[in-house]
Amino acid sequence: MHSMRFILLIVFALRLLLPFNAMAHPNEAAAQDMANAANAFLATLKPEQKSKAVFQIDDADRTRWHFVPTEMHPRKGLSFRDMTTEQQHMAYALLASVLSARGVQKTAQIMSLEQILHDANPKGRFARDPKWYFISIFGKPSVDGTWGWRFEGHHLSLSFTVVDGHIGGLTPAFLGTNPGIVLDGPRKGLQVLSTEENTARALANSLNAEQSKVGIVAAKAPADIITKADRRARQLTPFGLPASKMNKKQFTLLWTLLEEVMRIYRPDLAEDALKHFEDLDLSKIHFAWAGSLEPRQGHYYRIQAPNFLIEYDNTQNDANHVHFVVRDLKNDFGEDLLQQHYEQHHKK
């Protein structure tokens, strides 16, 4: 059982590590389910709603993303505020067409934290509303077409790209929580991204003196994720402890973190990758920690491979405000596969 789990996790990492065209065909069923769910959602919209929700596939807004409040980053798209209850249900169905139950749960919980922020400061600088999240659809959804969509608002940005009926990109994927841990009230103790924090801290704490010299890279954490909301995630300097230098317990913790990333997507997306990859050079995956090893003290970590990056930062609001991002350095927004599509189908 444990060996199978490790295989699945390695396969997922490889899916992100290698260029997308190294895989024969990503899971078509997921792309078809997304197209059908998107069209079912669109069928509920009035013309004025569609005008807000639908854009051309080459619209510049497709790669313009952010995780800050909408007052700081005006968003296009159709918000939950402007949907009927039926339409909101169809929007959740669209999310569920590509996310797992765990992924949908995390998304809904992050949205719900806006109510906690509103209740704590009703007249604050930013409007806090669990319905101020936007869906944007780029291109025309079809089971064999090329299109994309995004779900976004404060502390959430999920982008999906389909190229010629195949999933071309599942990133960038940003999840954030404020508060990181709910400190009082009826939901006291809720920590939406608990595994992402606690497992990484356990890994950092498990390093021996020699490993710590490599794996713990700074006494102070950076103020935010390094790649911020860059449209193109840049390759950061690889540093930290390579997986090849970890013992069995540490290796298990590392892959538990990767497994948690995988679990936000529907299971068949990872299972499909199992058909294509077998080997992984563990020396090219690095784990780096910065900041305090104590809870509620500022900390940061990242997991990095040649074409794959996870960043986690928890420094704001007395280290109770999390920013967490997953980037595919070759295929954010399906970039590589889209380029091939345009070269083949849109030659001048």
DSSP 214-277: HHEEESS--SS-TTTT-SSPPPPPP-SEEGGG--HHHHHHHHHHHHHHHTTB-HHHHHHHHTT-
Q: 264-299 b/e with 16+ CB inside 10 Å = b? A: bbbeebbebbbeebeebebebbbbbbbbbeeeeebb
Task: Give the residue, 307 or 65, on which the prediction is more confident.
Answer: 65
Domains in the chain: boundaries? 2-342
Q: What is the per-residue pLDDT for 120? A: 93
Helix (H, G, I), strand (E, B) or coil at 21: helix
Torsion sign over Cα 84, 90, 95, 101: positive
CA separation, residue 65 to residues 60, 105, 129, 233, 327 (Å) = 10, 22, 19, 12, 13
Q: Compute the distance between CA of residue 329 and CA of residue 310 in angstroms, rounded to an integer.
A: 11
Distance of CA 161 to the CA centre of its chain: 13
Q: What is the per-residue pLDDT for 306? A: 80
Q: What is the per-residue pLDDT for 135? A: 98
Query: In this structure, what are the phi and psi dihedrals at residue 301, rounded to the nearest 5 degrees?
Result: -150, 165
Task: Give the residue, 19 or 27, on which the prediction is more confident.
Answer: 27
Q: What is the per-residue pLDDT for 317? A: 97
Q: What is the DSSP letter of 61?
A: G
Encoding tokens for residue 271?
């299972």
pLDDT band of residue 234 (cuts 50, 70, 90) is confident
pLDDT band of residue 144 (cuts 50, 70, 90) is very high
* List of residues 6+ apart from 344 with CB closer than 8 A: none
Task: Give the residue, 171 or 10, on which the prediction is more confident.
Answer: 171
* Residues forming beta bridges with residue 147, ordered by sequence position: 162
Q: Name which of 3-7, 155-159, 206-210, 237-241 the model is least confident about.
A: 3-7
User: Percent of the chain having pLDDT more than 90?
Assistant: 71
Contact 237, 190 (CB under 8 A): no
* List of residues 6+ apart from 179 with CB closer than 8 A: 113, 116, 317, 320, 321
How much is the average pLDDT of 265-287? 69
How much is the average pLDDT of 83-104? 96
How much is the average pLDDT of 48-68? 97
What is the rounded average pLDDT for all residues in the chain? Answer: 88
Among the listed residues 179, 190, 149, the one whose alpha carbon sits nearest the alpha carbon of residue 319: 179
Q: What is the per-residue pLDDT for 274? A: 35
**How big is the chain by its Cα radius of gyration, in Å?**
20
Look at the pTM and tell me if it is higher than 0.85: yes
